[in-house]
Amino acid sequence: MNSFPRIFLVLFIALISCGTARKKSTITMTSVNYDKKSDKTTYMVFPYGSVTMKGKWREGAYNHPSRQQYFRRADSLRLGVAIGSARKLEFYKEGMSGATFSNAYCEWETKYMKESLHQKTELIKTDNTHGYTIWRAYSDSVNIVQLCAASKCACNEPAFKTLTINTWKMTTQQVVQLLEEIYATE
């Protein structure tokens, strides 16, 4: 059996599972692809969405609790990307989207960082037009900057994306600029 029918069958099953968004599980497929011609790396979590990063990023570890797939650039900068169903997040309320979702996500994450990990936090930017929030958690040993956003899913289910960088090698403004660039890249 050649590979086309197998791929079609897997995609068909994934699409069928999207039609049952009220169920507790959806089949997802992930892929990472570096396109040498365009010099871009794309990470996709089907059906929830994708992120495209300029340059070559190597796939690293996956953190199940946070749903983050880590990537590393040649200069050793590490990026965490989470893409998934918004309904699986404990704070999600039906109908949340755009800035309402990203602000709620930010509040949820910063509360955890303050109370559980004793980090200082600050809101950096809220972009209501593009529906994302950028915030920072920091201490003497940590400098995390995260962009969180609501996103649209191929199966019409509410979805989310987060882009996270933990580094002292760049200024906060440089990290914010990079996260916004990645978020905007198609």
* Single-letter amino acid, residue 146: Q
| Cα-only R_g, the chain | 17
pTM for the model stands at: 0.84
Are the CB atoms for 32 and 41 separated by under 8 Å? yes
Give the helix/strand (H/E) hosting 12: helix 3-18
Domains of the chain: 3-184 (3.40.1000)
For 36, 49, 53, 178, the CA distances from 56, given in Å and listed in that order, are: 8, 19, 8, 14
Residue matched to tokens 């303050």: 114
Distance CA 71, CA 97 (A): 27
Alpha helices in 44-184 (DSSP H): 98-115, 172-184
The strand order across the sheet containing 132-138 reads 57-63, 68-73, 78-85, 159-166, 143-151, 132-138, 120-127
Give residue 54's identity as a one-letter amino acid code. K
pLDDT in tens, the chain (186 residues): 444 444 444 444 444 445 444 455 778 899 999 999 999 999 999 999 999 999 999 999 999 988 899 999 999 999 999 999 999 999 999 988 888 999 999 999 999 999 999 999 999 999 988 889 999 999 999 999 999 999 888 888 899 999 999 999 999 999 999 999 999 986
